């Protein structure tokens, strides 16, 4: 079945460091891909998305490109801030289903001043 | 900005008791979902609901679980007899449209999540 694999955490970075969180997927059909963020004590918020191959999603300085050839959707940010500390979830939604999201395990990011 | 709201934010219940988790989806949304996240683990799909019936459910969603849209605005998740392993954060979500089965190209649309209800079974 469809699945999402993302890099294990936790990830600890210094402020202004470069961030990459790897995400790969397995899916039939033409999935849409998402990154969700969960700040401490809060619910899931959509960070960015891409709906077809080669699309780049971006928001708040974060970017991810839908790579069909490598089945990947890696999350990147050039310069992280303390406020970016959160858990990041990669997810896919497969159009062949009724549309439920399939999540990765999440990667906890801690950014130190 | 419209949002999905969930109540209560935290519920503690004794094992074997029934609990009802409540959600108010965004008003013009047609698809509703429940997910759960056991502490430290990934977010897992439980059930999706459309047109007053379950459209898809996972293996987790067994006979102990049920969902209902009792009054056109609320969307509830009931656990009939809670177990310790039901302790988790439960997220409600809604979307304007869901995936289109069988077409190969879904009408994918964004799911908006509520803040979650933390259920603790003791």
Q: What string of DSSP letters covers A12-55?
A: EEETT--EEE-EEEE-SS--EEEEEEE-TT--EEEEEEE-STT-
Between A29 and B36, the more confident residue is B36
A40 touches chain B (CB under 8 A): no
Chain A environment of B108 (Cβ under 8 Å): 32, 51, 93, 95, 99
Instruction: Among B31, B44, B115, select the one facing A42 at the smallest CB separation.
Output: B115
Which pLDDT belongs to residue B106?
39
Q: Could you read off the pLDDT of A9-62 as tens digits, one per residue?
A: 899 999 999 999 999 999 988 899 999 999 987 778 899 999 999 999 999 999
pLDDT at A97 over 70: no
End-to-end Cα distance, chain A = 41
Which pLDDT belongs to residue B107?
42
Q: Could you read off the pLDDT of B73-115 as tens digits, one per residue?
A: 899 999 999 999 999 999 999 988 764 333 333 344 678 899 8
pLDDT at B8 over 70: yes
B96 touches chain A (CB under 8 A): no
Q: Could you read off the pLDDT of A49-59 as tens digits, one per residue?
A: 999 999 999 99
């Amino acid at each position: 079945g469809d699945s999402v694999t993302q890099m294990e955490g936790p990830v600890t970075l210094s402020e202004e460091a470069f961030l990459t969180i790897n995400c790969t997927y397995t899916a039939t059909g033409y999935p849409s891909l998402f990154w969700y963020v969960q700040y401490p004590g809060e619910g899931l918020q959509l960070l960015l998305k891409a709906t077809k191959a080669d699309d780049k999603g971006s928001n708040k300085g974060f970017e991810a490109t839908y790579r069909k050839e490598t089945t990947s959707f890696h999350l990147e940010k050039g310069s992280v801030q303390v406020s970016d500390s959160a858990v990041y979830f990669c997810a896919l939604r497969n159009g062949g289903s009724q549309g439920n999201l399939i999540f990765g395990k999440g990667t906890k990011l801690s950014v130190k001043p | 900005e419209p949002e999905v709201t969930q109540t209560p934010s935290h519920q503690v219940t004794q094992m074997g008791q029934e609990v009802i988790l409540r959600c108010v989806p965004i008003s013009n949304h047609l698809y509703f979902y429940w997910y759960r996240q056991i502490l430290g683990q990934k977010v897992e799909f439980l059930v999706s609901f459309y047109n007053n019936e379950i459209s898809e459910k996972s293996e987790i969603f067994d006979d102990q679980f049920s969902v209902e849209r009792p009054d056109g605005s609320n969307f509830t998740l009931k656990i009939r007899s809670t177990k310790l392993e039901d302790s988790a954060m439960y997220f409600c979500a809604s979307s304007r449209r869901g995936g289109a089965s069988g077409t190969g190209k879904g009408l994918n649309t964004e799911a908006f999540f509520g803040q979650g209800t933390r259920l603790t079974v003791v």
